Amino acid sequence: MKEQFKAKMLCLHFTEDDKWQGKPLYEAIVAKCMEFRLAGATVYRGFEGFGASARVYHSRSLSISKNAPVVVSIIDVEEKIQLLLPHLDEMFTGGLIAISDVDAIRYFL
């Protein structure tokens, strides 16, 4: 079976060194998504990237600094995304949050 619906997609961009209350920011975000029973969240670790600071972040194995870019992708209905946004405002100290309208298709048994 499948279900089609209008949704919002958040793409959160930051680095793996970013923290929230002593733990990695991406872990804290996933935990908050679970707490609010969002449909899901996926964390991607990037090889290389840069942001507004124009500083290049990378995950090269021979590098002393391993501060890779991280993207968290979250898709759910607008109402649930709106519940999450104030918490992200508290958690973020730097980075970018992109919000898009998407047509979602969910497959299930």
Digitized pLDDT (tens) for each residue of the chain, 109 residues in all:
999 999 999 999 999 889 999 999 999 999 999 999 999 999 999 887 766 666 676 666 555 456 788 999 999 999 999 999 999 999 999 899 999 999 999 998 8
CA-to-CA distance for 109 and 104, rounded, in angstroms? 17
User: Considering the entire predicted model, what is its pTM?
Assistant: 0.86
According to the model, what pLDDT value does residue 65 have?
Answer: 55
Structural domains of the chain in order of their starting residue, each with its CATH number: 2-107 (3.30.70.120)
According to the model, what pLDDT value does residue 61 have?
Answer: 53
- Can you read off the two tokens belonging to residue 15? 């680095």
Q: In terms of DSSP bridges, do strands 48-50 and 2-15 run parallel, antiparallel, or are they unpaired?
A: unpaired
According to the model, what pLDDT value does residue 1 have?
Answer: 96
The helix (H) or strand (E) run that includes residue 85 is helix 78-91
